[in-house]
Structure 1
């Protein structure tokens, strides 16, 4: 029996003491694990109480009231500056004016000399959707990991210059968006820490994506040009471009050397020049957040050793472990020029990304850039360094055990404290959305179930010792809808895996688009969902960065790779997975024939069929026929690539987040077979009948 004290404490903290396993069993979280999570949460400052709530969120415009536990006078100031005043009795309610517009407003209750503040958020009930999608039209686009792009111009990693080229070509072929991996800030001093899903900060950009030759100060700097044109530099550039996997150390060394040359030139510009004025405005707009990001990168560059030691702020000298401390300011003061260099890099990245967005608009795309918001940040990154109260450092998030992972998954990402988030009027969540929705037509939220609940794991424990912690899902969805409408940025929720029906319904009502992956769209072991039965409010795709490519799936190379990496602890798992795959392949082949996506003369025995251009085309047409409003295609599938970009559950066993595309962009777009395939998809998306 659970003690009443533990139960009440868990309820108050939002810890869910029971959960349903992947097998459907109801499991109880132990008192010990709850106690450990309560201790992790207790590191945050105690929640203040008062006669007013700290924040109230409404998705309707009329009849809204705020209950108060003390009488006094009140003042309501709208986001636009309009003011209302009144008084309220002890235990009464403040009736909000029906004319209060959508947005963020401030309510103040005054009792003698005391004041209490409440943020009032009036939000729409649904996220933004382009008119074309609401009218029933369908769109397709290309989903890429930006770093995988090859070109004759990049420096060994896909960059914003490559992205412009990709946008123009995809738009020319009829595509409407480019889906990107998270572009979040990583670690300039630790280039091999390359996972886009373990970022330093989700508020700023990865500076490795800067297209260096496009930087004006690089072009104008004579020292930069001499360095760039030297035989040694050209050999290093050629070597970086030719590798099968991104050599992050080589790329970062080249780019940082070039950009320091460019920075020295920029610093000599007159302060009245447009570029200097624009940079100064960027610094002012970025405020403390930009300063702290630059300070983090600067200090990490000084503290990090060649072996990666000292890269985590928790390993720095004690005086430098708090991002907003006086000691950090004192450290940075004599290094002002170096700090501004890192701010300048963020300015360059932001300008080049914004230019990509303008190219989307000029190309007539409805959606354009579709960004990816990671579920969290690394424990030793800039965000946790800047805001120790918001993140629970004595816990991490992950996933509970399932048949393929009996100990569950630990992602080593510290969770946001839901009570602190709420006490701040959801401002950290608002800032996060604004940083990622600006100059974007769509935002994918990784692990969207995190808005309802997250699997917390106590520090030092394996994932099977965790528990779900609740988040204020209705409030978060309302804020999401408000920012979505303001930015005209639609929202896609990554809802793969076991998703509670509660969150499925809420997402649907909020106009958050689902994600439907071909491999999971089976209604039975021997049957795939017909294209006409796919969800409309969704994006369809063959695969994801964590799942096999078409080639990998059909040849079973993904399973062979898993066996090679010793990922199957039970000897019987691998043969069982191979047999399951053969059933999946046969079911898919049957579905392709039934949907008219393969000619009648095509083979009907999956075991005897190799992947071929005709089969590849049939799968693409099947996806193009689905009712889902959006369709995301992967260049890996056009190129018959079988190696994945990421193998879940591995760290050093496989070169995750490094594998490039097998062909450069020019070669892809000059390939007549690829163009023929994509044109067939474009026609199918625009038509209503069966494939021919």
Structure 2
């Protein structure tokens, strides 16, 4: 095998050879791992002839397309495009036709050879030349198209031209120096007197109203992406089926039109149903199987009734539903088909967990047998489209309530880094994904063994060839009905840690993505939806991405426990970047109580997460030292009462310490402060333990108190006032 060719290909495909690890030390990627990643991208690295043929095919594809598939420019930048043609055509006159998103047409006459020659290639004895050409038109922000038109109006090529703003959107109050606080919660964790065993969109509305009354300006959510109705135990919000659509489990069934009809009420009031409903409400953990069964048991007949009454004629409801389905396009059709197909296979006793085990004739969305399935099961597919429609309506109602309560942000949503292996998104666009790889993270503080998340990555080259449309759709969908979007593992815009199928997370390697293009699209969608963007930049983060994110108006994510100086001391929140959201802990970390009492280390040891006793001992020593440094910092800033002992051996996680830490953060310089409801309730169990799946009941633990009672607690009312006062003082101090 020609190793120099392999090395060049590794470089061209953006596979990194060296990186700085989480401890600041240089690390190298194993050459064998790099070869495996090339394989995952579809290159037959063990077959020299096959590899040469694939590279030749790619070379032809690039040169035979006169224009690139897509180009992203920032507003005000010079507009220069590349044009490729056979040498005999480069002296001809053409028209470069710019068709703006609004439909305006501008023609520019060009002769390619009058531009700057930058490249030459020979294809089957024909010389091709590539020129750079200046485009004189200055389109505004948006998604435009540039067409190469020959004489006789013969259209030779089309390129998507994206004009993006310089940075993401920031609300006026924050741009003017205002500092706000809010609460974060995993929506499914909410307990209430009326929900069906899982937090829902009506709970969200109540939480928003109560939070606003308490002085908060946002409620941060977990990803609320579509999961698997037929496979409820696949419950991780970070391993979705589709990131463009919503998890129907968050529907408040009782709020859907027609729920009060007699036929539905008869089913709902039935004794066994009510008993089961009370059981899932009382459970300490979300019983996804039972909750899904109960919701579908009412949603199915409710839809049949609604469909019969409203969705067959020229009704207001039918017009709205049809508009929703039309706007959802193939993506919605694909998800609804997938949900119906998975459900049908399950009912037939066949393997159903995901498309890898579907019958071959049904293993991709665009196959003939899938079309036949759609005809046969059209009504059930319509049902799943109906659920998405109702979920979108209920989420939008919550968003509107936040606006009415004058919350600066209101809902902030969370975008997961990928979709799971058996997802509908991959089923619908398999060529986009490297299905023989998964994304994760190299070894770091949170995961000493590295992490493999089981999420096949998008291939950056295929994403480019699809003119970035999947990313455009993704950002747009997740900026609906919210005021901010948190991007989980935001480093994915620059690079992702790929792990070849069968390898451990430590054997992975970084693959780079077109970060400037992706950030441009993110900024454009951010302005269109008026959504602030927060980037979760924890773990192994190169400085280049931190600076780039800041320049693009993306708010950094600052976690108190990670903001440590080299001497072990903790930075004052007053020194955090203004352009950031600060927090004490996250959903991947222990609660304040769990951290202070080392419950996470006990649990990790019990679950076998640490490779050796030496590592366990070092983690306990480090935690002890960190807690002492935290006490020193809190006392040094006067953030906790003097009567709290200054030696960690004498201090447990009391309410006074808990409250002091939260108010300490509120006095900081970050524009946004997010606090977890778990810490308000002094809970000790984590909602997720990274690096586990079946070992711990991740994504199931509920809050310990019903939503209706939380904000009546005098200590929490006092805390809310102190937080608001501290944020106001921090605003004035900056001003």
The 2-side partners of 1:300 and 1:348 are apart by: 21
Equivalent residues of 1:540, 1:630 under 8 A apart: yes
Give the direction of change, closer, same or farther, for the CA distance of 1:305–1:268 in structure 2 (3 Å limit). closer
| Residue 158 (str. 1) matches residue 173 (str. 2) | no
Equivalent residues of 2:592, 2:682 under 8 A apart: yes
Equivalent residues of 1:398, 1:411 under 8 A apart: yes
Equivalent residues of 1:409, 1:463 under 8 A apart: yes
| Residue 108 (str. 1) matches residue 186 (str. 2) | no
Q: 1:240 aligns with which of 280, 284, 289?
A: 280
Give the direction of change, closer, same or farther, for the CA distance of 1:510–1:488 in structure 2 (3 Å limit). same
Give the direction of change, closer, same or farther, for the CA distance of 1:55–1:586 in structure 2 (3 Å limit). same
The TM-score normalised by the length of structure 2 is 0.91
The secondary structure found in structure 2 opposite 1:602 is: coil
Equivalent residues of 2:112, 2:133 under 8 A apart: no
Q: 1:477 aligns with which of 519, 540, 545?
A: 519
Structure-1 residue corresponding to 2:576: 534
The secondary structure found in structure 2 opposite 1:515 is: strand
1:391 Cα deviation after fit:
0.7
Q: 1:599 aligns with which of 631, 641, 658?
A: 641
Q: Deviations over 1:63-88 (max 9, x none)?
A: 32223233433211111111111222
Q: Deviations over 1:412-449 (max 9, x none)?
A: 11010101111222111000011000111100001000
| Residue 262 (str. 1) matches residue 302 (str. 2) | yes
1:5 Cα deviation after fit:
1.0
Structure-2 residue corresponding to 1:8: 8
The 1-side partners of 2:652 and 2:690 are apart by: 26
**Gap regions ≥5 residues in structure 2:** 44-53, 116-131
Q: 1:117 aligns with which of 153, 158, 167?
A: 158
What does 1:318-337 correspond to in 2, within 5 Å? Answer: 318-337=360-379
What does 1:448-463 correspond to in 2, within 5 Å? Answer: 448-463=490-505
The secondary structure found in structure 1 opposite 2:33 is: helix
1:114 Cα deviation after fit:
5.8
Q: Deviations over 1:450-506 (max 9, x none)?
A: 100111111222222221111000111111111101110010000011210110110
What does 1:6-85 correspond to in 2, within 5 Å? Answer: 6-42=6-42, 46=58, 47-49=61-63, 50-70=65-85, 71=90, 72-85=94-107
1:671 Cα deviation after fit:
1.0
Structure-1 residue corresponding to 2:247: 206
The 2-side partners of 1:171 and 1:33 are apart by: 50
Q: Deviations over 1:16-50 (max 9, x none)?
A: 22223334443443443222222221279955432
| Residue 442 (str. 1) matches residue 442 (str. 2) | no
1:309 Cα deviation after fit:
4.0
The 2-side partners of 1:358 and 1:669 are apart by: 21
The 1-side partners of 2:148 and 2:462 are apart by: 21
Q: 1:666 aligns with which of 708, 713, 732?
A: 708
Structure-1 residue corresponding to 2:675: 633
Q: 1:88 aligns with which of 99, 110, 113?
A: 110
The 1-side partners of 2:669 and 2:447 are apart by: 33
Equivalent residues of 2:432, 2:462 under 8 A apart: yes
| Residue 646 (str. 1) matches residue 685 (str. 2) | no
The secondary structure found in structure 1 opposite 2:309 is: coil
Structure-1 residue corresponding to 2:425: 383
The 2-side partners of 1:333 and 1:479 are apart by: 37
Which sits farther off after the overlay, 2-11 or 362-371? Answer: 2-11
What does 1:331-350 correspond to in 2, within 5 Å? Answer: 331-350=373-392
Which sits farther off after the overlay, 554-563 or 45-54? Answer: 45-54
Q: 1:251 aligns with which of 288, 291, 296?
A: 291
Which sits farther off after the overlay, 352-361 or 22-31? Answer: 22-31
The 1-side partners of 2:616 and 2:498 are apart by: 30
The secondary structure found in structure 1 opposite 2:75 is: coil
Which sits farther off after the overlay, 83-92 or 137-146? Answer: 83-92
The TM-score normalised by the length of structure 1 is 0.96
Give the direction of change, closer, same or farther, for the CA distance of 1:286–1:529 in structure 2 (3 Å limit). same
Q: CA RMSD in A?
A: 2.0
The 2-side partners of 1:243 and 1:163 are apart by: 20
The 1-side partners of 2:667 and 2:22 are apart by: 31
Equivalent residues of 1:139, 1:176 under 8 A apart: yes
Which sits farther off after the overlay, 593-602 or 127-136? Answer: 593-602
Which sits farther off after the overlay, 152-161 or 261-270? Answer: 261-270
Equivalent residues of 1:525, 1:583 under 8 A apart: no
Equivalent residues of 1:442, 1:489 under 8 A apart: yes
1:323 Cα deviation after fit:
0.9
Equivalent residues of 1:186, 1:193 under 8 A apart: yes
Equivalent residues of 1:185, 1:204 under 8 A apart: yes
The 2-side partners of 1:646 and 1:305 are apart by: 31
The 1-side partners of 2:142 and 2:270 are apart by: 55
The 2-side partners of 1:57 and 1:263 are apart by: 43
What does 1:500-539 correspond to in 2, within 5 Å? Answer: 500-539=542-581
Equivalent residues of 2:106, 2:137 under 8 A apart: no
The secondary structure found in structure 2 opposite 1:219 is: coil
Equivalent residues of 1:63, 1:98 under 8 A apart: no
Which sits farther off after the overlay, 665-674 or 501-510? Answer: 665-674
**Gap regions ≥5 residues in structure 1:** none
Equivalent residues of 1:75, 1:84 under 8 A apart: yes
The 2-side partners of 1:389 and 1:320 are apart by: 16
The 1-side partners of 2:168 and 2:208 are apart by: 25
1:680 Cα deviation after fit:
1.1
Equivalent residues of 1:182, 1:196 under 8 A apart: yes
Equivalent residues of 2:534, 2:554 under 8 A apart: yes
Structure-2 residue corresponding to 1:490: 532
Equivalent residues of 1:445, 1:494 under 8 A apart: yes
The 2-side partners of 1:615 and 1:308 are apart by: 54
The 2-side partners of 1:114 and 1:101 are apart by: 24
Structure-1 residue corresponding to 2:218: 177
The secondary structure found in structure 2 opposite 1:304 is: helix
Q: Tell me the matched-pair count.
A: 689
Structure-2 residue corresponding to 1:581: 623
Poorly superposed stretches of 4+, deviation over 6 Å: 305-308
| Residue 195 (str. 1) matches residue 230 (str. 2) | no
1:542 Cα deviation after fit:
0.7
Q: Deviations over 1:498-539 (max 9, x none)?
A: 210110110010010000111111114541111221111110
The secondary structure found in structure 1 opposite 2:624 is: helix
Which sits farther off after the overlay, 472-481 or 57-66? Answer: 57-66
What does 1:426-437 correspond to in 2, within 5 Å? Answer: 426-437=468-479
Which sits farther off after the overlay, 41-50 or 679-688? Answer: 41-50
The 1-side partners of 2:250 and 2:569 are apart by: 42
